[in-house]
Amino acid sequence: MKAFQVHSHDAAPKINDVALPTPSSGEVRVRIHACGLNFADLLMVKGTYQDTPALPFVLGMEVSGIVDALGENVTGFSVGDRVAVFGGQGGLAEYGCFDVRRAVKLPDGMSMVDAAAFQIAYGTSHLALEHRARLQPGETLLVLGAAGGVGLTAVEIGKLMGAKVVACARGAPKLEAAKTAGADHLIDAETQDIRTEMKALGGADVVYDPVGGEQFQAAFRSCKPEARILPIGFASGDVPQIKANHLLVKNLSVLGVYWGGYLQFCPDVVTQSLATLMEWYSAGKLTPHVSHTLDFDSVADGLELLRSRKSTGKVVIRLTDEA
């Protein structure tokens, strides 16, 4: 089979021919139809992500496809089931073997492309806003990077939870995507000052930040007393440093969010969150935004879209014509 492999952190990944894997005990083998790309994939290529696998490895954190083989001791799944899997790696390949505990069955009507774009982006935002920040109806939610893969889902979920959502992104096209997702107010990070705009809106109760850098600092200064700040990632490349004495002045809370980490120490939180999200999808309350769907031989182009921030929402790679 073909797989997109990382052999060195100093060289570009490439598609190679590799052996078809056999599922071990507790695993399902999936014929992969689609794989969602994530900013973390770029970090894995460089070897700077917290969960970068040992070399060589197959890139691709989340997939959708059809179960085509079962390992021993697998229950609850059958050959032919339509599934989504967060494997953490192994997704950019024609087949992959994954821990059955990482697989979820797809609701009727969910396309393979939507499924491949769903788990990490929606899962991160729902867990962050509901489980970590305890976002309440009527509160003001500031979403940085609001047109990105996770940012758009934070806008959408925040609105569903009853918040007043302020979306911050760069340029009119990205702000329009955030408005379509439900944002009540828009801030153009290229031309407007975040702190000034948020002061006019009364400040933020919750800040959702996948960007870091200068935008984090501006959002930090835009917080109301007892606000909660959610560092999701650092797409700017700048990890902000937080002065503890500044937290004291307004009684602020900084709540780190690493969705994949919950699969290690509290998987039930993820399971319950995904169940809620799948129900919302089935009810028509969520609409995954995929700006680019590319064929397997264009994986490098897809990663470049993330690197250059030219995408909105998700970039998905199709492994079959059926995706």
pLDDT tens-digit map of 113-147: 999 999 999 999 999 999 999 999 999 999 999 99
Claim: this prediction has a pTM higher than 0.95 = no
- Please answer whether residues 314 and 294 qualify as being in contact, where contact means their C-beta atoms are separated by less than 8 angstroms: no
- The fraction of the chain above a pLDDT of 70, given in percent, is 100
The residues of the chain that CATH labels 3.40.50.720 are 122-260
Tell me how crowded residue 108 is: count the other CB atoms within 10 A of its CB. 6
The predicted structure's pLDDT at residue 58 = 98
pLDDT-based confidence at residue 322 (cuts at 50, 70, 90)? confident
DSSP 25-89: TTEEEEEEEEEE--HHHHHHHHT-STTPPSSSEE--SEEEEEEEEE-TT--S--TT-EEEEE-SS
Q: Mind listing the pLDDT tens digit for each residue in 81-121?
A: 999 999 999 999 999 999 999 999 999 999 999 999 999 99
User: For residue 197, what pLDDT band results from cuts at 50, 70 and 90?
Assistant: very high
pLDDT tens digits for 149-158?
999 999 999 9
Whole-angstrom Cα distance, residue 196 to residue 54?
A: 46
Q: What is the CATH number of domain 122-260?
A: 3.40.50.720
Residue 321: per-residue pLDDT = 84
How far is residue 53's CA from residue 128's CA, in Å, rounded to a whole number?
25
Identify whether the C-beta of residue 243 lies closer than 8 Å to the C-beta of residue 163: no
Q: Phi and psi of 243, rounded to 5°?
A: -85, 120
The yes-or-no verdict on residue 323 having pLDDT over 80 is no
Structure tokens, 28: 């399902």
Instruction: Specify the domain boundaries for CATH 3.90.180.10 within the chain.
Output: 2-118+288-318
Q: What is the homologous superfamily of the domain 2-118+288-318 according to CATH?
A: Medium-chain alcohol dehydrogenases, catalytic domain (3.90.180.10)
First to last CA, the chain: 18
- 251-283 burial, b at 16+ Cβ within 10 Å, e below that, comes to ebebeebbbbebbeeeeebbeebbeebbebbee
| Burial class of residue 170, CB neighbours in 10 A (0-12, 13-18, 19+) | middle
Which of 57, 107, 128 is closest to 278 using CA atoms?
107
Give the pLDDT score at 212.
Answer: 95
Alpha-carbon distance 160 to 153, whole Å? Answer: 10
User: What pLDDT digit, counting tens, does each position of 264-306 carry?
Assistant: 899 999 999 999 999 999 999 999 999 999 999 999 999 999 9
